[in-house]
Each structure stands twice: as structure tokens, then as C-alpha cells.
Structure 1
Amino acid sequence: MPVFFEQNLIDSWINEDAPLLDLTSQVMGLHHQASQMTFIARGNYIVAGSEEVMRVITNCQGQVTDYLPSGTSCHAGQAILHCTGPAHALLRAWKVSQNIFEFACGIATQTHALVTTVKHHNSKAAVLTTRKHAPGLRKLALKATLAGGAMPHRLGLSETVLIFPQHRALLGDWQNIQAALQARQGELAEKTVVIEVETLEQAKQAIQAGADALQFDKVPAAQLTEWVSQLRPLHPHLRFLAAGGIRLDNAVAYACSGVDALVTSSLYYAPPADIGVRIEKGDAQ
């Protein structure tokens, strides 16, 4: 998962937890004693964030000796990462690293479950994740969903043309949307124009306006099945997306509705994985 994490982001995670010193380690005299630390899965998970944990540990002056890459399956009791170094280094990196693993592995595992469910019922349907995550967590959330088998729906405003009802409200009517898109046809030659709709009538108007794809927002799966079955024979090159309230418990219905992709934010709120941490003296076996 080649998501780029700037060095200042890694530093900020460490600085957030221990901006000056680890006072407990200082008081207890835990400084340069040889130590080792192991992160252990307490459940069956998809690993995510291990490369970033490696950087946290290295920045704290530890050395990673073994790890499972992001996207790897692990079972309860399995070691995800092992490192060595002076006590102060490992203790400083400990909680930051554990937090990264628990957040990222939780999302990756939930993502994998959703993707597996969808693919089982519709092998051609994709699971796409939105940009509706907690502020500051975009890169780690993105990496975790990639590790679980999903793809990003939209990484930011600069990436895609996605016309929401809020845009339509400012433009006035569908004719103005059509005129704006026609005026930019050359500039949009390599872009896909997606228009979000909520009704069948809006879908027909969006197609007339020049949509390449329709994003149906909060349309019940049974209704969406009916609409897609009507529209696809008439517009075979059009793509259909289901969005709004899609979760593991209703994914099967949406996967069977005939859409090309399911767009979801729910994966960002997956329960965290339970990752144990064992710290021992350096000569421990």
C-alpha cells in the first residue's frame, strides 16, 4: 500500500504523546537497558499500518527485526511486529505504535469483511471509500482500507467532478448544469462526470445533462434494483454507484442491486483491533 506519509506526520504522532520526555521511564531509571517489544494480535485481523509503526520505532531509536506487511492476514496469538532497542526508545514508541495498529487493523479487517461479502454476491462490484473520515486521519484510513481490499472513491475536491444537490441548488436548474458541462467538454476529456441523485426523475435529468455516472444517495436497495434494471439497457455505458448508509449488514442487498460500486464511509468507524504489547529485557527468549 504505497501511501506516502511525510516525516513530519510521523514526528507529530510521536510528539503528540511524548513532546518532551517519558516521565515514568525517567523516574524509574529506564534508559539504555537492552529491551525488546512485540505486538501480538488478540484476534484474527488484516494487518495495516505496520510500515508506519516501523518508522515510529526507528525514529525513537529502536530497530525492527520482523513484521507482517500491511494487507497480511494474521491469527489470534500471532506476532505482528518485533523490535529491539534501549528501554527509553521502545517505551516511547509503545503506545503510539499500538494506537496505529489498533485503528488501522480494525478498519482493514472490517473492510476485508465487507469486500469479501460484496464480491461473493457480485464479483464485478467494487467497494469504494469516501473522504468522510475524522480530520487528520486521511492517510492512515486510506492505507487501512486499501489493505482490506477497497479502493478510494474520492481522495479530495481536486481529483474528480462530482456534482451534488448543493451544486445544483446554486446553479439553478438542470439546463445550467448541462450548459456548464458542454462548455467544458474538451477540458473534461479525461474526466468522469458523476452526478448524485435521489430519484428516478433526477437520474434521467442527470443523464440528459451529461453524466457519465450516477451516484444514488440513500436509495433503498430494492428501489435501486428496479431503477438500475430500467436504466442500464437504455444507457449501457453509464455507471451506477450506491451511496449512503451502506454497511456490512445491508451490503448484500446493494451488491445484488446491479450497481457497479458501493460507496461507504462506515468502514472508518470499525471497532479497533485488540493488539497486545509485550516488553521484555533484551536477553529474554
Structure 2
Amino acid sequence: MLYRLQDSDIERFIEEDVPYGDLTTSLLGIGGKQGTITFTSRHHTVLSCTEEAARVLERCGATVLSILPSGTEVESGTTFLAASGSAASLHAGWKVALNLLEYASGIATRTAKVVQAARSSNPGISVVTTRKSFPGTKKVAIKSIMAGGALPHRLGLSETILVFRQHTAFLGGLDRFLDGLTRLKASAPENRVIVEADTAEEALKIAAAGADVVQVDKMPADELAILAGEIHREFPGVKLSAAGGINAENAAAYSATGVDILVLSSVYFGKPADIQATVRA
């Protein structure tokens, strides 16, 4: 069961679109008439935030009749959410629910494609996503990547230790930092320490120093395969993660290198899912 967004999030979504009521529905005098709304996929889709879309409709005064949960894969023509209510309630919730469903399900669908491609060549690989989601959308984005079968790489700066060159620059360089790595690990024994390397040479040096995970960025797959073999052979307790430019087209190739983790941001960006909303009196 995926997590649910808070009531305050639902209220915020609605308030953004209907801050002072629905002028069109009010002037047409149709607000009290009864009707239904349905949401139907136009292509193969992995659903996300159906629960939140349903809560939007309910908060606007409609009654949910049927719903499929986030994470469900549906084919074109599948009606996965339906509600009934007054025209005022349906029109207030229509676009808010639709926008949420399309953007969230777009992320979930792209994520599922990457996960499927990656695990076609390495069934045990972990696919995780960065914190590069568009500001203000993290709750929706994280729920959606989880609906697609991935996990978050890190939710923010507060709970993970990931050391970049931008950090070691303040410590006198990578070598000076690695000299103190044992002390860093001892100061946070419940956390894994991840250190990013710019080259294969740095990656091996970091692994030898005792990092829990070595992360490499934008390394070509053929070089990565050699590095993965060396690290797993010489430092079997160290995990290797690959980041930078990974998407559905190259995920299988990167997964086949033998890395343990794929880190990506690409699933956050792309076309929304194509979902048809139909309102009937």
C-alpha cells in the first residue's frame, strides 16, 4: 500500500484552481444538476495518485463510485475512476483530479519502463530516483516512482550521507576526506556512506577506503562493466551505483554492467499520461 498525501495537500490542489468558486458553472445555473465523471486511460498506463484524485472529488462534494489503486497497470480504454455528484462538485474537481492523474501517472509509467528494462538484464538491480523533482511536487513524484516500481535515492539532505566533490573541496580534496572516512562512519553508524567518484581510479580508491557505496556519474557502460567487476572482486562488501543520463533506452545496458544500483532523474520529466475525463448529466 503506497502512502497517501495529507488532507492539506488535497486542499492546496483545489485552492490553486478554485480559489473563489466556479464562475462559469455558477452563471450557467447548472450547479445543482446531477451527473457523473469517469476517467479512462488512452494508452497503456501505470496509475498513480488515483486515491488523491478521488479525495479531490470527494472534497468537492462528489461521491466516488469505483477506483483502481496506484500502481495498477491498465491498457487503453480502461475506466479506473468514477464518481457522481452535482455539476458544481464535478466541475470543481474535474481538472484538478485530471491534472494530478496525468502528471503522476506519466511519472509512474516512465518509471515502470525503466525498471522493466533494467531488470530484463539484471533482475536483482535496484532502481532509485534522485531529489531532482520539480520544487513543490516531491510528494506526488515520490509516490509515482514507487507506483512504477522504483524507490527514492534520497528524500532530502537530512537523512542520507552522500559525499560529492563539492563537499571534499572544503576538506582539502578527496584523499584528505578518505583519511577521515572511518571517523565519519563511526559518527553515524546507522547510515550508509555514499561517495561519488569522477573516475574509475577514484572509485577504486573510495572502495578501498571503506565507503558503503561508490557512485559514478555519466561513466560509459563499457568502462562501468570493467569497474563493476573490479570492485565486486576486490571489495565484495561495497556496492556500486551508476548515475547520470539513465533512461528507458539505456537502462538495460547499464544494468548489464553488473552495477548494484541505477540512479536516475529522467522519469520526472516527459509527457503526462493521456487520460480522458468524461462528464455526463
Question: Where does residue 171 of structure 2 map in the other structure?
Answer: 171
Instruction: Return the alpha-carbon distance in structure 1 between the equivalents of residues 174 and 154 of structure 2.
Output: 24
C-alpha displacement at 1:179, in angstroms?
A: 4.5
Instruction: Return the alpha-carbon distance in structure 2 between the equivalents of residues 258 and 5 of structure 1.
Output: 36
Provide, for residues 52-107 of structure 1, a one-character-per-residue CA deviation record: whole Å limited to 9, x for no partner.
Answer: 00111111011111011001111111101000111101100000000011101111
Instruction: Return the alpha-carbon distance in structure 2 between the equivalents of residues 41 and 174 of structure 1.
Output: 50
Q: In the alignment, residue 248 of structure 1 is paired with which amino acid?
A: A
C-alpha displacement at 1:4, in angstroms?
A: 4.1
Instruction: Return the alpha-carbon distance in structure 2 between the equivalents of residues 186 and 121 of structure 1.
Output: 36
Instruction: Return the alpha-carbon distance in structure 2 between the equivalents of residues 204 and 115 of structure 1.
Output: 27
2:157 maps to 1:157:
yes
2:23 maps to 1:42:
no
Instruction: Classify the secondary structure of the residue corresponding to 1:170.
Output: coil
Instruction: Return the alpha-carbon distance in structure 2 between the equivalents of residues 154 and 141 of structure 1.
Output: 13
C-alpha displacement at 1:270, in angstroms?
A: 2.9
Matches within 5 A, 1:162-201: 162-201=162-201
Question: Where does residue 104 of structure 1 map in the other structure?
Answer: 104
Across the aligned residues of Structure 1 and Structure 2, the Cα RMSD in angstroms comes to: 1.3
Question: Where does residue 232 of structure 1 map in the other structure?
Answer: 232
- The structure 1 segments of at least 4 consecutive aligned residues displaced by more than 4 Å after TM superposition are none
Question: Where does residue 267 of structure 1 map in the other structure?
Answer: 267
2:15 maps to 1:15:
yes
Question: Where does residue 118 of structure 2 map in the other structure?
Answer: 118
2:50 maps to 1:71:
no
Task: Please give the TM-score of this superposition, normalised by the length of structure 1.
Answer: 0.95
Q: In the alignment, residue 156 of structure 2 is paired with which amino acid?
A: G
Instruction: Return the alpha-carbon distance in structure 1 between the equivalents of residues 94 and 43 of structure 2.
Output: 19
Instruction: Return the alpha-carbon distance in structure 1 between the equivalents of residues 209 and 22 of structure 2.
Output: 60
Query: Which moves more between the two structures, 82-91 or 6-15?
Result: 6-15
2:168 maps to 1:147:
no
Instruction: Return the alpha-carbon distance in structure 2 between the equivalents of residues 230 and 182 of structure 1.
Output: 22
C-alpha displacement at 1:178, in angstroms?
A: 3.0
Instruction: Return the alpha-carbon distance in structure 2 between the equivalents of residues 175 and 115 of structure 1.
Output: 35
C-alpha displacement at 1:126, in angstroms?
A: 1.4
Instruction: Classify the secondary structure of the residue corresponding to 1:93.
Output: helix
Whether contact under 8 Å (1:174, 1:205) holds in the other structure is: no
Aligned residues, how many? 281
Whether contact under 8 Å (2:2, 2:147) holds in the other structure is: no
Task: Please give the TM-score of this superposition, normalised by the length of structure 2.
Answer: 0.96
Q: In the alignment, residue 93 of structure 1 is paired with which amino acid?
A: G
Instruction: Return the alpha-carbon distance in structure 2 between the equivalents of residues 271 and 122 of structure 1.
Output: 27
Instruction: Classify the secondary structure of the residue corresponding to 1:156.
Output: coil
Provide, for residues 150-204 of structure 1, a one-character-per-residue CA deviation record: whole Å limited to 9, x for no partner.
Answer: 1111111111110011001111123432344333443322111000111022113
Q: In the alignment, residue 232 of structure 2 is paired with which amino acid?
A: R
> Could you list the runs of 5+ residues in structure 1 that have no partner in the other structure?
none
Whether contact under 8 Å (1:106, 1:272) holds in the other structure is: yes
C-alpha displacement at 1:144, in angstroms?
A: 0.8
Instruction: Return the alpha-carbon distance in structure 1 between the equivalents of residues 129 and 174 of structure 2.
Output: 28
Whether contact under 8 Å (2:164, 2:196) holds in the other structure is: yes
Q: In the alignment, residue 182 of structure 1 is paired with which amino acid?
A: T
C-alpha displacement at 1:113, in angstroms?
A: 1.1
Whether contact under 8 Å (1:110, 1:148) holds in the other structure is: yes
Whether contact under 8 Å (1:178, 1:208) holds in the other structure is: no
Instruction: Return the alpha-carbon distance in structure 2 between the equivalents of residues 181 and 32 of structure 1.
Output: 67
Whether contact under 8 Å (2:118, 2:255) holds in the other structure is: yes
Instruction: Return the alpha-carbon distance in structure 1 between the equivalents of residues 185 and 192 of structure 2.
Output: 11
Whether contact under 8 Å (2:239, 2:260) holds in the other structure is: yes
